[in-house]
Amino acid sequence: MFESSSTSIQGLSSEKVIASRTKNGANSTEHQQKNNFLHSLFELIKEPMFILLLTATSVYFVTADYNNGIFMLLAIILVVSISLYQESKSRNAIEALSKLTQPKSKVIRNGIVVEIPSEEIVLGDLIQTEEGTFVPADGIIIQSNDFSVNESILTGESLSVSKNEQSENKQVYQGTIVASGLAICQVTAIGSQTQLGKIGKSLDNIVEEKTPLQIQISNFVTYISLIGLVAFIIVWGINYWNSKLILDSLLKALTLAMSIIPEEIPVAFTTFMALGAWRLLRMGIIVKQTKTVETLGSATVICTDKTGTITENKMSLAEWFTLDASTVTTNHSNLNPKEQELINSAMWASEPIPFDAMEIALHEAYTNSIATDERPQYKMIHEYPLSGKPPMMTHVFENKEGHRIIATKGAPEAIIACSKLSETEKEKINTAFLAMTKKGFRVLGVGTTDFNGTYFPKTQQEFELDFKGLVAFYDPPKKNIKAVLETFYKAGIAVKIITGDNAETTATIAQQIGFKNPEKILNGDELMQMSPARLKEKVMETTIFTRMFPEAKLKIIQALKDN
């Protein structure tokens, strides 16, 4: 246990925790029925191919052809064993992966901070979230310091979002990752009532459909069975009419019906699917059910996310702009003094030990561009956390000789508002800013100031800044993604990007990776307003879907399936 840093925050008492858990339950999500052994066996028995195999085997035994009957029975046992073993291995792998999630969280109870299993968090608890941890439940920020959170799991947006107790949106959500700072939040939803839990429940409500091969095999079995039944009745009738022997006529009719049933086909299909799943498993790909193999093989459209799938989900410094330049710059190898000063200032405005992807990129750019690293010589003596509308942050560093570096970064309009600039200079900055944002980059303004006193201003907005320039970041595409796309296109598979990111960023990345028709874009709000008939047409011609949310994504998938 750890002592609370704030005696004014007491949190729930032990009695209130028990009462809340009794009334609202635990912080766990209700899942669908687990795919245990009996459930897997039952699902396998329902398969048309298995029924066809069983029918053929029964006919062999009825007609006293025990050799073929035993052979078919052994084939059934072998196929069932491979399928069940493969599913068992997949279940074990999935359960092992689930254990990698954050097991414990910090909460304030009875005035002290304690670590408890995340499942024991109750409604009304005060949770303490800090840099690098997962948010264990939905809540509202009541105290924070330089707090930002990566919500890409819900929104698809790769950039972290800064929030505090004064923000218009001060909600935090389960499953999101704290990118920087610390916050104390009051829990407003747990388990299946969280935003992440609701998404899980909406997925549980999706009716499982048969695969294309299952439908074809089902139709095939029905067709063959009807032919066999008709042949059986005709042969039995003719034989009985001629011989008047019921048993002999039945045996002859069954023999003919058995010859119609192609028992080798279901054996081959089932074996190939089981072996395909086995091969994927050896390659490190988890196949929960054997039928996934043939479903992958019959895919004609692939819908993919952008962040972390097409891109690397990490920021890199893309462009920068200084007032003495006429255009934005991308030349990393030959920085002029003004550009070097801009990179240095942006780094000093970042955390000394960066966690945020943009600040990591700034530290890397500084390291790669300077001859002598001055960071070990300076110590941060004061900081202003991210605040204001629009937001900005300021850090004050000082070395042993008393020399200070005061650097600020944040929204360009916030830095401009605190800088002494002419109208011409402001217009020049805004032109560069618009050019960067049209490419989908995240843009920050950078400034510096001098202050020799001991008593720093109450707010960073009171500083008069010297505007240094703009820095822009982007999330680069994965190195192999272009080859992957070409493979899909050659196979005749259409690819569509469904992302929560904005249209400009997504279109820029799409053009870089050779994505076909990146100009055909549709956003989530427009999609939700379309009629089902119009949507069915639009999803076929659209290649990039932006600003998407779970409900919109499901509508896209359903419209594609309907087509």
Residues 166-175: tens digit of each pLDDT: 777 789 998 8
Helix axes 212-243, 246-260, angle to 10 degrees: 150
Per the CB < 8 A criterion, the answer to whether 115 and 103 are in contact is no
Indicate whether 126 pLDDT > 90.
yes
Q: Which of 254, 267, 212 is nearest to 53 (CA)?
A: 267
DSSP per-residue letters across 147-211: EEEE-HHHH---S-EE--TTSS--EE-TT-EEEEEEEEEEEEE-GGGSHHHHHHHHHHTSPP---
Per the CB < 8 A criterion, the answer to whether 466 and 448 are in contact is yes
pLDDT at 185: 94
pLDDT at 302: 92
Strongest mean pLDDT among 134-143, 194-203, 317-326: 134-143
Work out the pLDDT band at 335, boundaries 50, 70, 90. confident
> pLDDT higher for 40 or 477?
477
pLDDT at 475: 77
pLDDT at 264: 62
Work out the pLDDT band at 3, boundaries 50, 70, 90. very low
Per-residue pLDDT reduced to its tens digit, 197-233: 877 766 666 666 677 776 777 777 778 778 878 887 8
Percent of the chain at pLDDT above 90? 27
pLDDT at 5: 43
pLDDT at 469: 94
Indicate whether 159 pLDDT > 70.
no
pLDDT at 80: 79
pLDDT at 339: 92
pLDDT at 291: 67
pLDDT at 65: 75
pLDDT at 284: 76
Lowest-confidence pick of 136-140, 275-279, 495-499, 506-510:
275-279
pLDDT at 435: 87
Indicate whether 141 pLDDT > 80.
yes
pLDDT at 243: 84
Residue 408 burial by Cβ neighbours in a 10 Å radius (0-12, 13-18, 19+): buried
DSSP per-residue letters across 460-491: GGGS-BEEEEEEEEE-PBPTTHHHHHHHHHHT
pLDDT at 1: 38
pLDDT at 29: 64
Work out the pLDDT band at 72, boundaries 50, 70, 90. confident
pLDDT at 434: 84
Indicate whether 34 pLDDT > 70.
no
Sheet holding 494-498, edge to edge: 301-304, 494-498, 544-546, 521-523
Q: Which of 256, 216, 184 is nearest to 5 (CA)?
A: 184
Per-residue pLDDT reduced to its tens digit, 410-464: 989 999 999 999 999 999 999 998 888 777 687 899 999 999 888 899 889 999 9
Between the two ends of the chain, the Cα-to-Cα distance in Å is 58
Buried b (16+ CB within 10 A) or exposed e, 194-205: bbbbebbeeeee
Strand 544-546 relative to strand 494-498, pairing? parallel
Residues 15-37 have a mean pLDDT of 73
Residues 375-397 have a mean pLDDT of 86
Indicate whether 94 pLDDT > 70.
no
pLDDT at 467: 95
Lowest-confidence pick of 3-7, 16-20, 87-91, 515-519:
3-7
pLDDT at 299: 84
Average pLDDT, the chain: 82
DSSP SS3 for 399: coil
> pLDDT higher for 317 or 297?
317
Q: Tell me, rounded to whole angstroms, the distance of Cα 148 from its chain centroid.
A: 19
Residues 359-384 have a mean pLDDT of 90
How far is 17 from 125, CA to CA, in rounded Å?
8
pLDDT at 158: 60
Indicate whether 30 pLDDT > 70.
no
> pLDDT higher for 454 or 4?
454
